[in-house]
Structure 1
């Protein structure tokens, strides 16, 4: 029996589609492939987008902004000297885009100076997104920054 070239094309398409469908089913059913959403409740988060933009603009409008520095011991967040640490309230969230199991959030707790230190014990090497939300004298601020942590 002789098969013409059209039959070969149909067989090739069928094999290619089977190959792709195998991997789609494997990724969707296997628990080792994490395909979670970035935000759990995406639509609820999206409703408050304008409020978030106002807080980001408030932080952008500051003459002297908080500084986030990374060194071998950890991450330090230093607020400007004219900010009173007693009047600053808020949280700092460390978000790991590659795996949400490493995400954590800390309250802004200050010692003598207006600075917060996060030790490398809580951080693994790689890229981190730092979202810092705070209030100072009744005004809300939001700072988003990416940092890269080097493992020793």
Structure 2
């Protein structure tokens, strides 16, 4: 799980303001050669517009002739939507690949109300690729979808 920054204000802990949470479940797969998937999570306005990347998980420690960033283009939908123009690592967005299980990503508090599409894409070495899309209305929309292989449950809950 990604660490969350906290501020100490007047002796009390205060978490950063968020509009809600996206939970992405990486399923446990029984395969001969398992590699953690690269994952990108982003929101797009439903009517079109600039996408906003919320998280990118990749092999951040892989260096040398083939650094982990080389394989980000395997997240094809995210790559075409704007991933190719991002510099990695991206502060507050990028991180290491995640083990199987649920992982929470905070929705930014500055999201404008409206209709969006939540996109979660996964690609795994010697595995498959999957894109899960979830329509949602913010600020008061909750949504859920489930992947078929590379992704498990994807939920968005607002506060």
TM-score, normalised via structure 2 length: 0.38
Larger helix proportion, structure 1 or 2? Answer: 1
Structure of larger gyration radius:
1
Which has a greater percent of strand?
A: 2
Which of 1 and 2 has higher RCO (CA within 8 Å, sep 6+)?
Answer: 2
